[in-house]
Every structure is written in structure tokens, then in C-alpha cells.
């Protein structure tokens, strides 16, 4: 018997919008059955008006960057000047303040329809680099913050060992570093998955992990069949420094050390050669695009169409949280490509929603999420079709409306594991998300 039944006024089923869908949730938090043609709600069903889609996957997040919003918009500068502001915020984090900020940021994600976050986590130790009594106190704070906000998390514990191609960490980076990849592996092995949390790995970048230690991180992930992510060719300066140090591109360096593959996702993948694209596609290494951050930092527009055509699955992330809106990330990927190519229609709305749902969850190790079908995790979100942004189009164009008109503000419901986390636009676990954000960010001001 189902534990709960939802009636979806309209549901996106991956290829089309279906009116009148009854969705049954089992005791295991999975979709037990999905029935189309339900013109009216079954007795006792919870009614979700609007367009219901699978829960959105935020495949790349740095939770503490949420404290940088607006602060880094004063004046001009580059990625490298932005990074100095980031270091200042990172220095003020403690396990308690990080929990409070991440809980609020993850609650904001739930309000935006995100049911799973890939947290690219590298603030491991106390300022100065001394481990906490629990060496994973910061990672545990993030896992608990996701639980408190009602969403899933893949903690991508990040190896960050160098300030650049073998140079010692700078004073700001000492709390990021475990010293060696072996020490990183020993620490992260103590982290355990739980119902709402998976443990994955990340290589911060080829700058931050010496070449002779890349294989250690890759091997750790391979042994556990865990997702492995890496910032890749975000900046031309990184490419130039890698060529100077190793005589090859960052992508080629990763390939040489066994990092690429179907469980690996390159984040950004902005400045790539034709050979890089062939390597990533040929190994089915994924690509996570973060358009709102990439344009905020003036990084450039990555070759997403060519990567996908070569065989690299696409996912989306909010990265620095200039905004938290996966619908905007999906829209921006298409519109960026239109600006560059001066042609329209590189991806359909269905393809963009797939990047934001099924392919994003797969990049985070959840192949059983991101679809409205029996057996999948009962994670879904409902987008209003009657707001000032979305009113007017026919419901059968709901995918196009969601991607090209709606925003996070149009999310009305978010359900994770069959449980309502956001109901009628209000978070059920964090009563006042704006205050939680304001208070946790104020606590970090030095």
C-alpha cells in the first residue's frame, strides 16, 4: 500500500508534459507507482497545482560562497581579486558557523526546487591548518546542514594541497590542505554515507594537487565507485601555467594520471583545445556548467555543445551562488551559446531539464533520481504555471515555460523522499530562510 499519493496537475515525464498524473510514494521514499490519465485527484491525494518535474540537482556548490553575494559586486576586478574576498570569508568559518550558513543556503536551494546538492568541500581544518578534534568536523557540519534543510547531499571531499603546481599552500590555503594525497585519503575514508548523504571525492584543480598525487585521489574514488569532480580549465592562466610546468593541457594531465572516466565530472571545462574535447568525450567524462558564476567572474563561455556532441554528459551547478536558480542555469547555458554562435535552439527545453535533473543526479552518484517513474527516489518539485512570469502558455509547453520563463521564485513545492520540504512556497523545516541567511552571514563578517 502506498504511504502517500500525490496528484500532479501536470507532470514533465522526460519527453513531454502529461496532464493528470497520480504518483504513489512507498514507505522506502521511492515512487511506488505512476498513473497517467487521472483527470481528478484520487481520494486523499495531496494536490500539486502547476508543473511537477523531478527534483533539480545542483551538481556544483561551495556553500560558504553564499556569503559573498553582492560583496564581490562592488567595483571591478578579476577571478583572482574575487578569490581574495573568498579567502577572507573562509578564514572566519568554524564547524558551527559553517553549519548555520550551509543550512540556510541549502534551505534556499530547497525553495528553488533543488533536492540534491554536490558540495565541493575543501575547508577542512582550523585556520593555520591544525585539524579539529574530529578531522572531518567541517564535512560533518555540511552533511548535518543538508539534513536540517531537508535535501540530499553528495559531499565531494576535496584534495587541495598546493598553491600552484607544487608550491606550498599560502597562509589562507593552510586550512584546505591535508599535506599529501595519502593523508587526504586517510581522513576522508572516515566519512560514512547515510540515508541522505553520499561521499565522493574531488581534485580541486591541477594547480592544487601535484601531478604525482592525482592518481591517489582517482584510485580512492575508483575503489569506492564514488563520483570524482575537478575544476578544469576555468582560467586561461591555469592552462598556461600547466603547459609551463608539464608541457600539456590540464585535461591531458588528468588523462595521463587516470582521472578521466564516466564517474568523473569536470567543472567549467571552459578553455579547452580540440584534443581536450575529444579526450573528455571519448572517456564519457561529464561536464558541469555553472553559467551564472562563469559570467559573474568573466571566465568565458565553455564549449558545451561540442562537449555533449563528443560524448560528455552535461550537468548544472550554482557554484559561487551569485544566484541559486537551476532554471536560470539551464536557460543561461542555451542563451550563452546563442550569443556566441548567433544561432538559436542548441538544446530543447527537454534536454536542458534533463541536464538539471537526471544527468545532474547521475553526476552526483544518484542514478536512481531525476526521473518521475516507478522505482526512482520520490524527489520532485512543482513550478507554478500561473505566476506573472509563467501565465499564458498552454500547459503542454510547460517544459519551455519552466526553462525559458520561470525562476526559482515560481517553485511552489519541493518533495524529498516523499516528504514535503517546501509547501506553497514556504520551507517546512527552516521557518524563516531570509533571517537564517542574514544571521549566518553576519556572523562571518570579520
**What does the DSSP 8-state code read for residue 416?**
E
pLDDT tens track for 369-397: 999 999 999 999 999 999 999 999 999 99
Of 317, 320, 335, nearest to 403 by C-alpha is 335
Q: What is the mean pLDDT of residues 83-97?
A: 86
Q: pLDDT-derived band of residue 248, with 50, 70 and 90 as boundaries?
A: very high
Q: Above 90 in pLDDT, residue 64?
A: yes
In what order do the strands lie in the sheet containing 380-383? 31-35, 17-25, 4-12, 46-54, 380-383, 411-416, 419-423, 426-427
What is the pLDDT at residue 208?
A: 97
Residue by residue, what is the 3-state secondary structure of 233-274? CCCHHHHHHHHHHHCCCHHHHHHHCCCCCCCEEEEECCCCCH
Contact of 382 with 49, CB cutoff 8 Å: yes
What is the pLDDT at residue 78?
A: 65
Non-local CB neighbours of 442 within 8 Å, separated by 6+ positions:
none
pLDDT tens track for 151-203: 999 999 999 999 999 899 989 899 999 999 999 999 999 999 999 999 999 99
pLDDT tens track for 342-354: 999 999 999 999 9
Contact of 333 with 318, CB cutoff 8 Å: no
Q: pLDDT-derived band of residue 87, with 50, 70 and 90 as boundaries?
A: confident
What is the pLDDT at residue 123?
A: 97
- Which tops the pLDDT comparison, 68 or 362? 362
What is the pLDDT at residue 313?
A: 98
Contact of 176 with 160, CB cutoff 8 Å: yes
What is the pLDDT at residue 2?
A: 73
pLDDT tens track for 27-57: 999 999 999 999 999 999 999 999 999 999 9
Q: pLDDT-derived band of residue 86, with 50, 70 and 90 as boundaries?
A: confident
What is the pLDDT at residue 167?
A: 92
- Return the CA Rg of the chain: 21
Q: Inter-axis angle of helices 137-149 and 95-111, to 10 degrees?
A: 30
Non-local CB neighbours of 266 within 8 Å, separated by 6+ positions:
229, 230, 231, 232, 233, 251, 280, 285, 286, 287, 288, 312
What is the pLDDT at residue 77?
A: 64
Question: What percent of the chain is predicted at pLDDT more than 70?
Answer: 97
What is the pLDDT at residue 446?
A: 60
What is the pLDDT at residue 85?
A: 74
pLDDT tens track for 249-269: 999 999 999 999 999 999 999
Contact of 373 with 36, CB cutoff 8 Å: no
**What does the DSSP 8-state code read for residue 125?**
S
Q: Above 90 in pLDDT, residue 74?
A: no
Grid coordinates representing 405 are: 520563463
**What does the DSSP 8-state code read for residue 399?**
H
Q: pLDDT-derived band of residue 81, with 50, 70 and 90 as boundaries?
A: low
What is the pLDDT at residue 71?
A: 74
DSSP one-letter string for 325-389: -HHHHHHHHHHHHHHHHS---SS-HHHHHHHHTHHHHHHTT-TT-S--STTSB--EEEE-SSSTT
Q: Quote the distance between the C-alpha of residue 409 and its chain's center.
A: 19
The pTM for the full model equals 0.97
- How far is the C-alpha of 194 from the C-alpha of 196, rounded, in Å? 6
Bridge partners (DSSP) of residue 58 are 117
Pairing status of strand 286-289 against strand 197-203: unpaired
Question: What percent of the chain is predicted at pLDDT more than 90?
Answer: 91
Grid coordinates representing 292 are: 551564472
What is the pLDDT at residue 5?
A: 97
- How far is the C-alpha of 286 from the C-alpha of 362, rounded, in Å? 10
Active site residues: 268, 319
Q: What is the mean pLDDT of residues 91-99?
A: 95
What is the pLDDT at residue 70?
A: 75
- How far is the C-alpha of 160 from the C-alpha of 408, rounded, in Å? 32
Q: Quote the distance between the C-alpha of residue 84 and its chain's center.
A: 23
Q: Above 80 in pLDDT, residue 72?
A: no
Amino acid at each position: 500500500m502506498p504511504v502517500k499519493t500525490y496528484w500532479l496537475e501536470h507532470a514533465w515525464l522526460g519527453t513531454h508534459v502529461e496532464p493528470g498524473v497520480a504518483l504513489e510514494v512507498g514507505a522506502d521514499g521511492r515512487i511506488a507507482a505512476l498513473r497517467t490519465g487521472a483527470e481528478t485527484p484520487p481520494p486523499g491525494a495531496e494536490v500539486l497545482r502547476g508543473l511537477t518535474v523531478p527534483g533539480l540537482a545542483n551538481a556544483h556548490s561551495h556553500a560558504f560562497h553564499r556569503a559573498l553575494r553582492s560583496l564581490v559586486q562592488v567595483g571591478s576586478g578579476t577571478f583572482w581579486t574575487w578569490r581574495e574576498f573568498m579567502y577572507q570569508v573562509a578564514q572566519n568559518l568554524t564547524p558551527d558557523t559553517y553549519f548555520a550558513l550551509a543550512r540556510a543556503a541549502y534551505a534556499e536551494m530547497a525553495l528553488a526546487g533543488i533536492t540534491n546538492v554536490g558540495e565541493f568541500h575543501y575547508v577542512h581544518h582550523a585556520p593555520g591548518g591544525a585539524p579539529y578534534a574530529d578531522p572531518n568536523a567541517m564535512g560533518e557540519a555540511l552533511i548535518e546542514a543538508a539534513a536540517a534543510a531537508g535535501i540530499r547531499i553528495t559531499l565531494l571531499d576535496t584534495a587541495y594541497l598546493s598553491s600552484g603546481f607544487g608550491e606550498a599552500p599560502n597562509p589562507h590555503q593552510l586550512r584546505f590542505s591535508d599535506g599529501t594525497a595519502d593523508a587526504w585519503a586517510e581522513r576522508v575514508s572516515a566519512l560514512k554515507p547515510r540515508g541522505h548523504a553520499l561521499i565522493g571525492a574531488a581534485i580541486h584543480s591541477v594547480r592544487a594537487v601535484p601531478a604525482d598525487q592525482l592518481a591517489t585521489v582517482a584510485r580512492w574514488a575508483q575503489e569506492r565507485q564514488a563520483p570524482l569532480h575537478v575544476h578544469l580549465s576555468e582560467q586561461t592562466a591555469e592552462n598556461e601555467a600547466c603547459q609551463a610546468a608539464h608541457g600539456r593541457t590540464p585535461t591531458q594531465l588528468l588523462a595521463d594520471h587516470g582521472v578521466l572516466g564516466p564517474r568523473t565530472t569536470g567543472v567549467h571545462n571552459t578553455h579547452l583545445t580540440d584534443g581536450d574535447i575529444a579526450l573528455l568525450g571519448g572517456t564519457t567524462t561529464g561536464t558541469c556548467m555553472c553559467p551564472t558564476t562563469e559570467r559573474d567572474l568573466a571566465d568565458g563561455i565553455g564549449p558545451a555543445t561540442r562537449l555533449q556532441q563528443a560524448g560528455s554528459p552535461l550537468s548544472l551547478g550554482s557554484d559561487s551562488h551569485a544566484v541559486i536558480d537551476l532554471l536560470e542555469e539551464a536557460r543561461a547555458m542555451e542563451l550563452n551559446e546563442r550569443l556566441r554562435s548567433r544561432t538559436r535552439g542548441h538544446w530543447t527545453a527537454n534536454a536542458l531539464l534533463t541536464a538539471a535533473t537526471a544527468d545532474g543526479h547521475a553526476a552526483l552518484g544518484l542514478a536512481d533520481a531525476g526521473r518521475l517513474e516507478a522505482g526512482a527516489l520520490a524527489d520532485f518539485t512543482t513550478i507554478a504555471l500561473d505566476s506573472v512570469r509563467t501565465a499564458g502558455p498552454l500547459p503542454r509547453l510547460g517544459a519551455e515555460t519552466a526553462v525559458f520563463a520561470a525562476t526559482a521564485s515560481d517553485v511552489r513545492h519541493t518533495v524529498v523522499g516523499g516528504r514535503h520540504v517546501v509547501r506553497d512556497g514556504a520551507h517546512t523545516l527552516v521557518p524563516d530562510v531570509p533571517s537564517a541567511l542574514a544571521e549566518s552571514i553576519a556572523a562571518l563578517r570579520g
